[in-house]
Amino acid sequence: MAAGGYAAALLLDGNSLLRRENLRAGEDTVRRWFNAAALVRPANEGGLVVVTADDTAATGALLRWDPLDMPPENWHCGRNSSYRPPCGSPQ
């Protein structure tokens, strides 16, 4: 790793990562993006992260640097944590 962090990171083809047939595709993509972006020096020191993906909750979380701010509809159950599908899961 470069001393002080890398000057830039290019996060290419984000749409392909986000559209994978996987229940955790969004979470995995955000994790990968944050891991890569964490290696880049801060913006006030000239660091730059470029992501090529549509405007989604995942890209918004990266732009805000807030991985926990992914909206509930992107969680694996498709709803917020208070939702329990009518398939016999615990209340």
Question: What are the tens digits of pLDDT across the range 8-32?
Answer: 999 999 999 999 998 889 889 999 9
Give the count of alpha carbons within 13 A of 25, CB side only: 13
Decide if pLDDT at 82 tops 90: no
- Residue 42 to residues 29, 38, 65, Cα–Cα distance (Å): 21, 9, 12
Alpha-carbon gap, residue 51 to 72, rounded angstroms: 22
Residue entry with tokens 């969680």: 75
The answer to whether the pTM exceeds 0.75 is no
Question: What are the tens digits of pLDDT across the range 39-73?
Answer: 999 999 999 999 999 998 899 999 999 887 666 55
* Residue 56 DSSP symbol: -
Residue 46 · residue 40 · CB < 8 Å: no
